[in-house]
Structure formats: C-alpha cells, structure tokens
C-alpha cells in the first residue's frame, strides 16, 4: 500500500485566546458576533469564511482548499488566507493542523450534512488528545474529553456521554444512571440522554482508558461553562 504523506503548514498559527473554526454548515450569526465580542478569534474553514463575513465580521484567517470560498482575492486583501490544496483531508482537519489555541470551538461542522458530521467526529477523535475541542450546533455542545472530567449539572439536566471508540468507565457521581464499571462503544452500549441529579458530576474512565477520547454532550446553553472549564484546565 502506498504511504500517503501530508505536508504540515509552513507556519503554525498560534493563538493565546480561544478560537472558533467556522465551517459551511448551519451557523448562528448572533453567536459568531458574541464570540467575537468575547475575544474569540474566528477562523474560516474555506466557505465558512463567507459565513463570518455575512455576520459583519472579519476572520483572523481563512484556511482550506478554497473550493467554496466565493471571493478569494477580496479576502486576501482583508485577512490571512492559507491555501492547502491537497484533497486527502477535510477543511476542518486543515484548520486543526494549522492552528494552536488553548480552546478550540467548531461551528457549522455538524447537522447539515451527514457525511460532514461523520468527518467532523473523525477529526475530533484524531485531535482530542492534543487540544481542548468543542463541537457546537443548533442544540448541543459536545466537548471531546480525555481522562476524567468534573462539572456542575442541574437536577434533570440532559447529560449524554458518547463513545468515539470503545471506552470503559471506572465510576461516575452525580448522574441518574451511573457509569460505574460500564464499557461504552459504537455499535454497543451508549450513554445517550443521561441526566444530572443536581450538583457536581464527575466521570472517571477506567485506568486503561485514561487516554481514550469520549464526548460529553450538554445543551448549547452550557457552551460558556465548558469554555471556562477548558481554560481553567489549561492554566492548571
């Protein structure tokens, strides 16, 4: 089998603040403006740059194979445009490998097209061990977690734990349906639509799966809580 090699970008874009990678799916322009006002750097994943522009904002960069960007020359006059023409990876993957940030949000990557959603989940699995990564759609926010995680949840608040690959859990506290001793995996047992009992929730993977990524899915209203938790973890 022929080995496929992907050249890294000539220059890694490093940010000391959170970034939001914006794809071409459904994106709330009001949320984009809230993110920009909060100091989050916006990165257009190819045509996602046009969605940022439609919200009246200028991305810190536009990255991708640029087959969906409407006015490349116009954007090149206003911001950094990084053209990565290879067709082996998605524009989301191109953005992830070209940037570094304490927290990375991803908008417009899920929901509109199933193949794009599956590709986004694959990218999350690929990069979860390297960076704090959150997928945001119209309803939910999904944080890629490696290891244990603690957060507060109201009584009855929906808490879903989704396995990207097979992952075992030693224990949990604060959930209606405990994860103690359970193994979750695609095609097997899932952790969909669990709920908080009120107060702190702690989820602890089994020792052998301490580096195995899994998804914590909460209502979108918890976005800023999860961003703050990731920032605090990065400072620790």
pLDDT score recorded for residue 205? 96
**Considering the chain, what percentage of its residues have pLDDT values greater than 90?**
78
| pLDDT of amino acid 2 | 34
Comparison of pLDDT for 122 and 11, the residue scoring more: 122
Contacts 24+ apart (CB under 8 A), 45-50: 45/21, 45/91, 45/92, 45/94, 45/95, 45/108, 45/109, 46/91, 47/23, 48/21, 48/22, 48/23, 48/24, 48/91, 48/107, 48/108, 49/22, 49/75
- Tell whether 234 is covered by a domain: no
> Domain with 50 in it: what CATH number?
3.40.50.10240
Quote the pTM value: 0.91
Is the pLDDT score of 159 beyond 50? Answer: yes
Residue 212 reports pLDDT greater than 80: yes
pLDDT of the residue at 208:
86
Residue 153 lies in a domain: yes
How far is residue 17's CA from residue 103's CA, in Å, rounded to a whole number?
A: 7
**Residues 155 and 102 both lie in one domain:** no
Based on the fold, state whether residues 25 and 108 are members of the same structural domain: yes
If asked whether residues 44 and 131 sit together in one domain, one would say yes
Residue pLDDT, tens place only, 167-191: 999 999 999 999 999 999 999 999 9
- What is the residue range of 89's domain? 15-138
Short-list 203, 194, 161, CA closest to 176: 194
pLDDT of residue 236: 61
Identify the pLDDT of residue 136: 95
SS3 for 169-214 is: EEEEECECCCCCCCEECCCCCCEEEEEECCEEEEEEECHHHCCCEE
> What pLDDT was estimated at residue 149?
93
> Which domain-ending residue is among 107, 138, 169?
138
Mean pLDDT for the chain? 91
Q: Which of 28-32, 69-73, 230-234 has the highest mean pLDDT?
A: 28-32
Q: Do 40 and 132 fall within a single domain?
A: yes
> For the chain, what is the domain count?
2
Domain-embedded: residue 233: no
Q: What is the pLDDT of residues 60-83, one digit of tens each?
A: 999 999 998 898 999 999 999 999
pLDDT of residue 114: 85
Give the number of other CB atoms < 10 A from CB of residue 24. Answer: 22
In a domain, 7, yes or no: no
Supply the pLDDT for residue 86.
87
Closest CA to 120 of 107, 103, 102, 138: 107
Residue 5 lies in a domain: no
**Per-residue pLDDT tens over the stretch 133-151:** 999 999 999 999 999 999 9
Residue 49 falls inside a structural domain: yes
């Amino acid at each position: 089998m022929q080995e496929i090699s992907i050249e890294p970008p000539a220059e890694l874009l490093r940010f000391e603040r959170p970034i939001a990678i914006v794809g071409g799916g459904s994106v709330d322009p009001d949320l984009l403006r809230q993110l920009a006002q909060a100091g989050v750097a916006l990165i257009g994943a190819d045509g996602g740059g046009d969605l940022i522009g439609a919200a009246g904002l200028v991305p810190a960069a536009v990255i991708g194979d640029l087959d969906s960007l409407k006015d490349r020359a116009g954007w090149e006059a206003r911001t950094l445009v990084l053209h990565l023409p290879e067709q082996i990876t998605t524009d989301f993957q191109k953005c992830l490998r070209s940037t570094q940030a304490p927290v990375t949000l991803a908008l417009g990557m899920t929901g509109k097209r199933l193949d794009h959603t599956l590709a986004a989940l694959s990218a999350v699995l690929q990069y979860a061990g390297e960076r704090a990564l959150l997928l945001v759609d119209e309803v939910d926010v999904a944080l890629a977690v490696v290891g244990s995680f603690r957060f507060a949840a109201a009584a009855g608040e929906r808490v879903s734990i989704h396995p990207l690959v097979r992952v075992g859990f030693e224990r949990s506290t604060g959930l209606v349906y405990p994860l103690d001793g359970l193994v979750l995996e695609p095609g097997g047992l899932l952790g969909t639509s669990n709920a908080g009992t009120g107060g702190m929730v702690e989820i602890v993977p089994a020792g052998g799966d301490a580096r195995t990524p899994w998804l914590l899915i909460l209502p979108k209203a918890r976005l800023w809580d999860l961003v703050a938790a990731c920032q605090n973890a990065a400072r620790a």
